[in-house]
Amino acid sequence: MSGKITIHQAICGEKNKSWDLLKTTLTNRELAKNMALKTDIQDTAGGYKWDPSVRGFAYGDYYLIMRSFLDTGEVRPGRAFSHVLIIALSDLDKIPDLGVLFSLLPEKIDKEQPLVPLEPSLKAGEPIIDIEDYSNAFAGRFKKLLNGYFNMASHKNTIVWIGYGDYEKAVAEFWKRITIQEKHNFELIIPPVSLCTDNAAMIGWAAIERFKSGYTSDLNFSPKDRWSIEDTL
């Protein structure tokens, strides 16, 4: 399906030394403030540097897509800032391509930007591109993403896209391949920054996910000083 929908906006960040709603186009401000509490990025202590990241999840009768930034303005060190798009769940089936929503999100922090409801014209989705038409590097990773998702019941784990390279493209392609009900339950999250900056923490997390998927090893193995993440999935 395609057509025109109304997308509300909100910006959220530090206010009076706590996370809060800064501005929104929603008339129900109490609802918007409750949404805002869900858009913070936890564990963003000072000293960590990270790039803007896209996240998304359902909240009540709405789906929230946001780009979150490290706020380097006049706030406490390590604070975040999120620009949020608010879409009614009933309109999700009219969005064939998440790339349209990604293009509506700003690339940098702008707290003074006037917010208005958006009414993008949505065209019918383009035919799903055969994965083989992509580069070998992306195709290989994306196939593993699909395999992990469609075998979720047996794997019982979380799908992790390592690094931000091609992340938005992978999410947009994945969106085209799932049902409307699956979209309602689809969550895009980024792990706590503290788990992304320490090698031991990242190795430990990878080990937990492998163990939950049923992978075990005895003690008769040789350590590898360089082991591609592709070989562990």
Task: List pLDDT tens digits, range 50-104.
Answer: 678 888 999 999 999 999 998 888 888 878 899 999 999 999 888 888 888 899 9
Average pLDDT in the 10-22 region? 93
Please indicate, yes or no, if residue 191 is contained in any of the structural domains: no
Which residue segment(s) compose the domain that 165 sits in? 129-175+198-233
Claim to verify: residue 46 and residue 142 sit in the same structural domain: no
Claim to verify: residue 112 and residue 2 sit in the same structural domain: yes
Claim to verify: residue 112 and residue 136 sit in the same structural domain: no
DSSP states along the chain: --EE--BEEEEEEEETTEEEEEEES-S-HHHHHHHHTTS--S---TT-----EEEEEEETTEEEEEEEEE--SSS-TT-EEEEEEEEEGGGGGG---HHHHHHHS-SS--TTPPP--B--EEPPPPPPPPGGGS-HHHHHHHHHHHHHHHTHHHH-S-----SSTTHHHHHHHHHTTS-HHHHHT--B----GGGSS-HHHHHHHHHHHHHHTT----S-----SS--GGGG-
Domain boundary among 58, 90, 124: 124
Please indicate, yes or no, if residue 186 is contained in any of the structural domains: no
Please indicate, yes or no, if residue 183 is contained in any of the structural domains: no
Domain boundary among 124, 155, 186: 124
15 has a pLDDT exceeding 80 = yes
pLDDT value of position 52? 84
Claim to verify: residue 113 and residue 7 sit in the same structural domain: yes
Claim to verify: residue 146 and residue 31 sit in the same structural domain: no
Computed over every residue of the chain, the mean pLDDT equals 81
pLDDT value of position 172? 87
Question: Of 7-21, 137-151, 170-184, which range is least confident?
Answer: 137-151
Claim to verify: residue 100 and residue 145 sit in the same structural domain: no
Please indicate, yes or no, if residue 180 is contained in any of the structural domains: no
Claim to verify: residue 116 and residue 208 sit in the same structural domain: no
135 has a pLDDT exceeding 60 = yes
Please indicate, yes or no, if residue 185 is contained in any of the structural domains: no
Q: Who has greater pLDDT, 161 or 187?
A: 187
pLDDT value of position 114? 93
Count of domains for the chain: 2
Domain boundary among 100, 124, 148: 124
Claim to verify: residue 106 and residue 143 sit in the same structural domain: no
pLDDT value of position 47? 58
